Amino acid sequence: MSVLPDFSAIIFDLDGLILDTETTYFAAWQQAAAELDYHIDDGFCVTLSGLPFSRIEVKLSEYFSVTFPFKEFYRLSSDIWRKRVKREGIVVKKGVYELVQLLQQRNIPYCLATNSPELNARECLQYAAVDHLFTQMVCRDHVQSPKPAPDLFLQAATLLGQEIENCIVVEDSLTGLQAASRANAFSVCVPSMPNNNEEMQALAGIVLNDLSELAVLL
């Protein structure tokens, strides 16, 4: 197994890495579209992984015709998503608990850096019952530009009191890996979608199957 470089802190993405939120979003979007007599296929959903909502809106606009009822779609998909996660919760990804426990035992600082607005991020953490594990975060509404710009990771390093070169960034999407590269941070990739392409492989310092493997490396 690969070896990590020396580091002082870890910065985690949220959606698709810590929590399995993306599948809940995609399912809600697909159900809402179906109720409006439209269709969103699985392949298109994969292309949305890691993107900020502003970019998702653009891709949805390109995917559908100009007559698509976006206002009703957003209202309906939000209702569907919230009812589901209130009922079922949000799945925590494999290895999260053991990795966080290890970081806490070794006094290694860590935080989240997510393209989600803070309100949404905290809501998801609460539905997953892990909000007590992630008290520090940098969100979309805390910086000027979302990933793939480096802003979130640079701000996260500042929050942790570290230089970004001394931080490891853990990501699951191409968008996140591009941001880590632009921030000049060493990245670990734990893909959440079947899109672990050559570009992701090239950008990532290490590619792992899940966060439990990162715990082993630590």
The alpha helices in 40-147, defined as continuous H runs, are 42-46, 53-63, 70-88, 96-105, 118-127
Are residues 100 and 201 located together in one domain of the fold? yes
Compute the mean pLDDT over every residue in the chain, rounded to the nearest whole number. 93
Q: Flag whether 1 is in a domain.
A: no
Are residues 99 and 84 located together in one domain of the fold? no
**pLDDT value of residue 82:** 94
167 SS3 class: strand
pLDDT at 111 over 90: yes
Pairwise pLDDT comparison (215 vs 55), residue with the higher score: 215
Work out how many domains the chain is built from and give that number. 2
Q: Quick check: 153 and 165 in contact, CB under 8 A? A: no
pLDDT at 1 over 60: no
Are residues 60 and 102 located together in one domain of the fold? no
**pLDDT value of residue 195:** 59
- Which of 88, 119, 143 terminates a domain? The answer is 88
Q: Which of 143, 72, 42 lies closest to 154, judged by CA?
A: 143
Are residues 73 and 132 located together in one domain of the fold? no
Are residues 119 and 38 located together in one domain of the fold? no
pLDDT of 169-211, one tens digit each? 999 999 999 999 999 999 999 998 765 578 888 899 999 999 9
Q: Flag whether 59 is in a domain.
A: yes
Are residues 34 and 94 located together in one domain of the fold? no
User: Could you tell me the pLDDT band of residue 113, with boundaries at 50, 70 and 90?
Assistant: very high
Are residues 55 and 150 located together in one domain of the fold? no
Q: What does pTM read for this prediction?
A: 0.89
Domain interval for residue 207: 9-20+90-217
Are residues 109 and 185 located together in one domain of the fold? yes
pLDDT of 122-137, one tens digit each? 999 999 999 999 999 9
What is the DSSP secondary-structure string of 188-208?
A: EE--SSS---HHHHHH-SEE-
Are residues 119 and 68 located together in one domain of the fold? no
> How many angstroms separate the CA atoms of 25 and 67, rounded?
22
Are residues 141 and 207 located together in one domain of the fold? yes
Are residues 97 and 80 located together in one domain of the fold? no
Residue 169: its H or E element: strand 167-171
- Which of 33, 60, 88 terminates a domain? The answer is 88
Question: What CATH number is given to the structural domain containing 101?
Answer: 3.40.50.1000
User: Could you tell me the pLDDT band of residue 67, with boundaries at 50, 70 and 90?
Assistant: confident
Backbone dihedral region for residue 173 (phi beyond 0: left; psi -120 to 50: alpha; all else: beta): beta
**pLDDT value of residue 200:** 87
Are residues 115 and 56 located together in one domain of the fold? no
- Which of 88, 107, 125 terminates a domain? The answer is 88
User: Could you tell me the pLDDT band of residue 2, with boundaries at 50, 70 and 90?
Assistant: confident
**pLDDT value of residue 56:** 84
**pLDDT value of residue 57:** 83
